[in-house]
Structure 1
Amino acid sequence: MVRRWPRGWVVLPAVCTFALAPWGADMAPAGPAHTHLAQVDTRRLGQPRAPEVRVRIEETRLAQLPPDWQDMQPRYATSLDGRHFAYVLEIDGRRALAIDGAAGPDFDEIGGLLVLLGDVGHRECAAFSTDGERAAYTGRRGTSWFAVIDGEIGPPYDEIRLYPASVFSSSGERYAYAARRGENWMAVVDGREGEGFAEVIGPAFGGSGEHLVYTASDATGTTHLFIDGRWHTEPRTVRCAILSPDGSRFAYVVPGATGHTVCVDGEFHQHFGEVDCHTITWSHDSKHLAYVTYAGARKRVIIDGQVQAEYERVGRPVFRPGSGELWYDARQAGTAIIVRDGQAVAKYDDVQPFLAPPVDWRSSVFLNMSTIRFSTDGTRVAYSASRAGQWFTVVDGVEGPPYAHVTGGRFSPDAQRLAYWAALEGPAWVVVTDGRASQTWDGARITPVFSPDGLHIAYGAHRGKLRQDQYRARIVVDDEVGPACQMVSDPVFSPDSSHVAYAAFADGQSWMVFDGEAGPRYDAIPGPAVCSMSPVFRPDGTLEYLAVRADTLYRVRHVPPNDAP
């Protein structure tokens, strides 16, 4: 039985603070828990605008934060569901980690957990499980470091490596980290110490937590790969150890003098060239493995150990959901080629990976991006291509209308619709949905998002040159344009598709917009995920988030009219 964290505690992944503020109205002073009753138009999306109805906005005071809470190091963290907030407190010269206002044990120092955003990183004070029900962090007393899991202090170590992305299994039932005592590093899994080594990398869970993998090296430089209780020993360095989606299979790369060797479930495949670790891809059913190898100007895709045709350039391979069918793009003699299961199925002047504008898709990240996009159920496929200077989106082999440029696009959850940004001459941008172009915009801010039922669409755009000191960013929902803000987050639909919300920012304040109406203003809305600041709906359609006003932490809930008294 898993011990959950005490009431008021949580665990955190990467977070980004998004200060947002509305257009007017006075801010209520910080104080005890209270409820705002607002007259808000919350018509269901796609239906005629209803008369005024009551939407209950609940604001509950959780804690008084230290004045320098945004500057404390390591920095604060938020659970992935946006419901819990962790930060560092200093009390009588000692430090403690507080979650939603409940302080944990005191230490001389709270350790920071490294969170990487591309090549840039920062340190957060804690890590949360995916469901937000568990929290982990490290603290130092004297020269000893301790891992704190769900408020319980572990044994002392000389050093601890706790990784936010892998400390908890996806189910939240298990935890693991690396620790050093003296000269020996070990993996600590569910509180049990493993064998000591000169170095340990990982550990990480596979599947829902039933699988475990990490690498270790001894004093002789020999590498040992631990997978589900079994050791796989290599006399050389092991790279790119990766489990299949269900965790039942494994693969890793062993560099050599004449090329890389790939080990798949204990079977070795020698290649006269290097393996691009970023391209290693398992099929969704874990039955197939593909990756890209390169030797000088020669590049090939390998699938299940079988070598495909040689090209000058190869994009990242991707499997069709529900099958072992492999797609990728390649280039040869100035021609872009779409390849399916090793056979060329279409040729163009150029194709592009799925990157939102205005990212430079010709940069060095090309190999890490997939040109092919499938619908969730795998029944449909799309990609962007060009011919004679005109760009178009190809859906199931059919070319769409030409534009100066197009982005990759997104299928609706039911796979019946596709939306993407397209550039006209000028340049001006439009969102193309089911072949129909929207009004024009000067810039694309957010990739179109469909509601769960596929009937509604929302996206972010702006007019004029986007500057943070001007109100130019907007969210558009079903062609209805929202108010101009300095910044907006990704729009999010409720599970039943009847509501939509997003975060907005202007003049140093933040607020949530629920069905087109602005909520209370705050100094900051700490948000889940990396700089997404997107709101999170509860299953019943209630919008819930954390917010800060006058250094006071609040839990805020927008209750839809069907649930409001």
Structure 2
Amino acid sequence: MDNQNNQIENSSISNPPENNNQDHSHQRLFWVGVIVVLVILAIIGGVFYFYSPKKVAQNQVNQSQNIQKTDNQKSNQGIKNQSQADQTKTKVYSKKLGKLFKEIYPNKNEIFFSPDGQHCVYVIKSGKKYSMILDGKKQKEYDEINDGFVFSPNSQHFVYAAKSANKWFIVLDGKEQKKYDNVICEAISWPVFSPNSQHLAYVAISGEKQEVVLDGKEMKKYDSVWDLTFSPDSQHFAYVAKLNNKYFVVFDGKEQKKYDHLSMMGSILFFSPDSQHFAYVVRFKEKEFVVLDGQEQKKYDSVWDFTFSPDSQHFAYVVRFKEKEFVVLDGQEQKKYDEITKITFNPYNQLVYIAKLNDKLFIVSGSREKQEKYNRVRDLTFSSDGYRFAYLAGLNEKQFVVLDGKKQKEYDNKICDIESIIFSPNGLHLAYIVYSIHPHDNKYFVVIDGKEQKKYDYIKNLTFSLNSQHLAYIVISGGKQFVVLDGKELKNHQGKISNLHFTKNYLNYNVVQDNGEIWFVSKKVD
């Protein structure tokens, strides 16, 4: 009995009666229907909501705001205008470097500033004695001071030549070096620091002989010495010497092959950017040739305009031979022309130059040449990324800048001239100076991205910031000098301005004010 009841109970749990199953089925259908209806209503409501006129208008407003935001972001990438500059809170740091002594000696290079602008020097004369003034402090008096005073590239060292008791010597960072009969301070024999500022070389004279003094060590004596040159990495040092009517290069202390004559066209020693290659020019029996890494190249009537590619893998120069001019690239003679303007490598290490043949102008790039329709072309300039180029061109009585093959505004060649064509570091902006040579309207103005800026009596030192967001230059107006930054005139410090340059976040320059005060000015920029 109990077992039967258990079986029934189990049976009733596992197998519900038939009529109960039907009731549950109806209930399920009812709730499924309710859920379906609710879902349909929700979808319909959502459709009306998302496509209502109010929502469409709101979407259009949001899109418009996004477009405006994007346009503003793009405009902010350009050069800041005056209103933007006014809104930017800038901090100006000024450091007084001293005040001019009334005894300043005008024929001694006037005032000279260090590369970073934070030091200045000049010479004064008191009676028969001369003294150097360094950062407003008078240095030791001497019988004479030569013009050859030089700061190191890092602005941490300073050297000049002085005379006392009929002997000349170098004064390095205030310390007198060994005395000689003379120390040469001329254009091709100036005291020179290495690029890393760790080495100093100069030419000293003892009796009738000249010798290079490198880091205080005297080198071999010669009849004459000039063109002291350090490699870009400061690891190599070379110069030209003459002995017994023979000319030769001394490279890292070793005399190279001797010749009857070396070219005298200013500096004749050339290092590649990576300091691994070295070249110079020799003149022999009315011919000239290049010596590259110790190997003599082919002889021509004349040789000039030597240049290495940025990656140091290519070397080119211009030659003249039998009334024709052409380029020699990596030892290979290129096409002959009547005339070739200065050659250059673009940032992609491709050689580019301007050539003239039968009164037609060409821009030659690699093995390709493109004929230009202008009478004259010069000052070919590339952006740092190599994608853009510009040059100054002339046609009939007009001159203008050509940017990426497109002619910019024309100016009358008789009364205007154009100079200082520069790209911003990022290559997005181009600026140049236009000035009038008309006697009744002698004005200068800057053109930036095709827009003419305010006119002044004179403009110089056109300079972009490192991030390409700012443009600065020095102007003269009404007899006053001041700096213009992004169209805004900076007149807090007026006077004789020089050494204008940008560092990472600052615009820097030096000012000698009318009251004789000397200042280093540093203005923070974005």
Coarse TM-score class (shorter-chain normalised): 0.7 to 0.9
Residue 105 (structure 1) aligned with residue 77 (structure 2): no
SS in 2 for 1:236: coil
Which residue is equivalent to 1:517?
A: 489
Using a 3 Å threshold, how does the CA distance of structure 1 residues 53 and 384 change in structure 2: closer, same or farther?
closer
How many angstroms apart in 2 are the aligned matches of 1:51 and 1:385? 36
Are the equivalent residues in 1 in contact too, given 2:462–2:472 (CA < 8 A)? yes
The one-letter code matched in structure 2 to 1:555 is F
Residue 251 (structure 1) aligned with residue 273 (structure 2): no
The one-letter code matched in structure 2 to 1:228 is D
Are the equivalent residues in 2 in contact too, given 1:503–1:513 (CA < 8 A)? yes
Q: Name the stretch that deviates more: 176-185 or 446-455.
A: 446-455
Are the equivalent residues in 2 in contact too, given 1:187–1:194 (CA < 8 A)? yes
Which residue is equivalent to 1:69?
A: 104
SS in 2 for 1:270: coil
How many angstroms apart in 2 are the aligned matches of 1:485 and 1:295? 47
Deviations 1:202-258 (A, max 9, x none): 21111131111101111x212231112322021422223322222221222222226
How many angstroms apart in 1 are the aligned matches of 2:216 and 2:277? 25
Which residue is equivalent to 1:490?
A: 461
Which residue is equivalent to 2:316?
A: 290
Are the equivalent residues in 2 in contact too, given 1:337–1:347 (CA < 8 A)? yes
Q: Name the stretch that deviates more: 375-384 or 139-148.
A: 375-384
Using a 3 Å threshold, how does the CA distance of structure 1 residues 382 and 226 change in structure 2: closer, same or farther?
same
Deviations 1:481-514 (A, max 9, x none): 6554322223434334454433222343322234
SS in 2 for 1:196: strand
How many angstroms apart in 2 are the aligned matches of 1:464 and 1:268? 47
Q: TM-score, normalised by structure 1?
A: 0.68
**What is the CA distance between 1:101 and its match in structure 2?**
0.8
Which residue is equivalent to 1:546?
A: 511
Are the equivalent residues in 1 in contact too, given 2:511–2:518 (CA < 8 A)? yes
Which residue is equivalent to 2:438?
A: 465
Using a 3 Å threshold, how does the CA distance of structure 1 residues 508 and 352 change in structure 2: closer, same or farther?
same
Residue 312 (structure 1) aligned with residue 338 (structure 2): yes
**Aligned-residue CA RMSD in angstroms?**
3.5
How many angstroms apart in 2 are the aligned matches of 1:512 and 1:498? 16
How many angstroms apart in 1 are the aligned matches of 2:445 and 2:475? 9
Number of residue-to-residue matches in the alignment: 442
Deviations 1:417-476 (A, max 9, x none): 89975425x569xxxxxxxxxxxxx74555455544555555444579366xx7843446
Which residue is equivalent to 1:153?
A: 176
Are the equivalent residues in 2 in contact too, given 1:253–1:261 (CA < 8 A)? yes
Which residue is equivalent to 1:405?
A: 399
Which 5+ residue runs of structure 2 have no aligned equivalent? 1-77
Q: Which has the higher contact order (CA 8 A, sep 6+)?
A: 1
Larger C-alpha radius of gyration, 1 or 2?
2
SS in 2 for 1:489: strand
Which residue is equivalent to 1:225?
A: 249
Which residue is equivalent to 1:139?
A: 162
Q: Name the stretch that deviates more: 149-158 or 282-291.
A: 282-291
Are the equivalent residues in 2 in contact too, given 1:57–1:556 (CA < 8 A)? yes
**What is the CA distance between 1:158 and its match in structure 2?**
1.2
Deviations 1:355-381 (A, max 9, x none): 4xxxxxxxxxxxxxxxx5433233455
**What is the CA distance between 1:340 and its match in structure 2?**
3.9
Deviations 1:310-363 (A, max 9, x none): 33333333333333x33333333333344444x4533345564434xxxxxxxx
Are the equivalent residues in 1 in contact too, given 2:105–2:123 (CA < 8 A)? no
How many angstroms apart in 2 are the aligned matches of 1:457 and 1:317? 21
SS in 1 for 2:193: coil
Using a 3 Å threshold, how does the CA distance of structure 1 residues 139 and 147 change in structure 2: closer, same or farther?
same
How many angstroms apart in 2 are the aligned matches of 1:506 and 1:548? 15
Residue 423 (structure 1) aligned with residue 400 (structure 2): no
Are the equivalent residues in 2 in contact too, given 1:384–1:406 (CA < 8 A)? yes
The one-letter code matched in structure 2 to 1:151 is G
Residues 163-178 of structure 1 aligned to structure 2 (within 5 Å)? 167-178=192-203
Residues 440-451 of structure 1 aligned to structure 2 (within 5 Å)? 443=416, 446-447=419-420, 449-451=422-424
Which residue is equivalent to 1:25?
A: none
**What is the CA distance between 1:96 and its match in structure 2?**
1.4
**What is the CA distance between 1:140 and its match in structure 2?**
0.6
Which residue is equivalent to 2:383?
A: 375
Using a 3 Å threshold, how does the CA distance of structure 1 residues 487 and 157 change in structure 2: closer, same or farther?
same
Q: Name the stretch that deviates more: 164-173 or 43-52.
A: 43-52
Using a 3 Å threshold, how does the CA distance of structure 1 residues 494 and 290 change in structure 2: closer, same or farther?
closer
Using a 3 Å threshold, how does the CA distance of structure 1 residues 226 and 556 change in structure 2: closer, same or farther?
same
Deviations 1:161-204 (A, max 9, x none): 24677611222222111111112211111111101111111211
Are the equivalent residues in 2 in contact too, given 1:166–1:204 (CA < 8 A)? no
Residues 70-219 of structure 1 aligned to structure 2 (within 5 Å)? 71-91=106-126, 93-113=128-148, 126-162=149-185, 167-218=192-243
The one-letter code matched in structure 1 to 2:228 is P
SS in 2 for 1:310: coil
Which residue is equivalent to 1:501?
A: 472
SS in 2 for 1:87: strand
Q: TM-score, normalised by structure 2?
A: 0.73
The one-letter code matched in structure 2 to 1:99 is L
How many angstroms apart in 1 are the aligned matches of 2:429 and 2:199? 38
Are the equivalent residues in 2 in contact too, given 1:178–1:202 (CA < 8 A)? no
SS in 2 for 1:485: coil
How many angstroms apart in 2 are the aligned matches of 1:160 and 1:49? 53
Are the equivalent residues in 2 in contact too, given 1:524–1:547 (CA < 8 A)? yes
The one-letter code matched in structure 2 to 1:135 is F
Which residue is equivalent to 2:521?
A: 556
How many angstroms apart in 2 are the aligned matches of 1:353 and 1:187? 43
How many angstroms apart in 2 are the aligned matches of 1:289 and 1:177? 29
